[in-house]
Copies of this chain bind each other. A is one copy, B any other.
Amino acid sequence: MTDVFDHPWLGGLFADPDMAALWSPDAQLAGMRAFEAAFSRALGRAGLADRAEEAARAIEGMGFDMDDLRAGTAQDGVVVPRLVRQMKAQAGDAAGAVHKGATSQDVIDTATALAMRDTLALVDRRLADLTAALEGLAARFGARPLMGRTRMQAATEITVADRIAPWLLPLADHRARIAQARPRIARLQLGGASGDRADLGAKADAVAADMAAALRLENPARAWHAMRDGVAEFAGLLSLVTGTLGKMGQDVALMAQQGIAEIELSGGGTSSAMAHKQNPVLAELLVTLARFNAGQLALIHQALVHEQERSGAAWALEWMVLPPMAQATGRALAAAVTLAGQVRRIGTPE
């Protein structure tokens, strides 16, 4: 099975190419390259390095020896030492303008911040799409009657709009949360060896401001090497979104039961054993992805216990968990929009 998001057939169900692109090795490499180029240029403008533009262009134009990067990661636990070695070799005489005063965590975390920033933008756009889709359903079917169900038991009659409301209304709150949290998440990471920017001396803040502007990231007062609350807040936003969609999925799956029949979908899944079945595949998927993210979120919060100036152990746990969380969220949003489009009818059958 391996990774469901990048799998020859399970990818048909789980893959979200747009989100996968934001967290791909290519994107990660592009993010690290962008960091180093911006850093070289900022060093140059701050008078901390010569031939800075030359170094930046070398970094921007070069290819990488991936076998060397892999061997280096095996050795060092992190890709950056070899990445920088390759960059310096490429920069040649301009090597003095490469990475001088930065550290591995600056490079990787800034690339992650770019991915988180772009993820929030993608999630926000899809929340808008889903809002429109659900408002469309409410417009078409909202006035139709439906049996309200509490504790899985028939309660009092409601309308379809009442059933849709808890799928729809939290989406606006999620968008507000994203807007509020973005400045705490999309932050430049720049600290140097122990996070104090010591090697950049009096020019440290100028370098940081320059880089933040170039990379379109926030410029925090100091490095967040060992302050992972922004990362955890990001993960929490993702899981809040998938949680809302999981509730929608669970509702749809329950409504689609024979004997209940409160929803009619096109395009449901077939069975290898029973030709008559129309399985609410995307509805179930939303439940799966919600439960998946809920579990992963705990690990990102475990990783808040990030000791001293850098925890190799806690940091690597983020590497394991963030990309699948983002992909689960992207896929859930896309699936929810598709599912909304599959609705032929909601409400008590006539």
Contact = CB atoms under 8 A, between A and B. Distances in A.
Contacts of A177: 181, 184, 233
A240 B247 contact: no
Interface string A248-278: 0111011011111100000101111110011
B10 A279 contact: no
A309 B155 contact: yes
A306 B142 CA distance: 21
Given A269-B77, A288-B316, A247 B196 contact: no
A326 to B, nearest CB: 9
A60 interface: no
B253 A313 contact: yes
Contacts of A99: 272
B226 A151 contact: no
Interface stretch (A48-56, A128-136, A166-174, A208-216): A166-174
Interface string A160-185: 00110110011001101100110010
A16 to B, nearest CB: 12
A290 to B, nearest CB: 5
Interface stretch (A38-46, A89-97, A317-325): A317-325
Nearest to A258: B154
Interface residues of A, number: 154
A52 B152 CA distance: 33
B148 A193 contact: yes
A307 interface: yes
A105 B224 CA distance: 38
A63 interface: no
Interface string A8-39: 11111110000010011100100000000000
B273 A12 contact: no
Nearest to A103: B273
Q: Which of A69, A198, A249, A302 is most buried by chain B, counting CB atoms within 10 A of its CB?
A: A302
A5 B225 CA distance: 24
A305 B246 contact: yes
B69 A9 contact: yes
A239 interface: yes
Interface in A173-232: 173-174, 176-177, 180-181, 184, 192-196, 198-199, 221-222, 224-230, 232
Closest 6 CB pairs of A and B: A243-B304, A148-B194, A77-B281, A12-B74, A294-B301, A150-B310
16 contacts: A9-B66, A76-B271, A77-B285, A149-B307, A150-B308, A151-B279, A153-B280, A162-B194, A170-B229, A180-B180, A192-B273, A243-B305, A284-B311, A291-B305, A293-B301, A295-B321
Given A2-B327, A158-B198, A295-B321, 10 more contacts: A9-B72, A75-B281, A81-B271, A148-B308, A153-B280, A165-B227, A193-B271, A193-B273, A257-B260, A291-B302
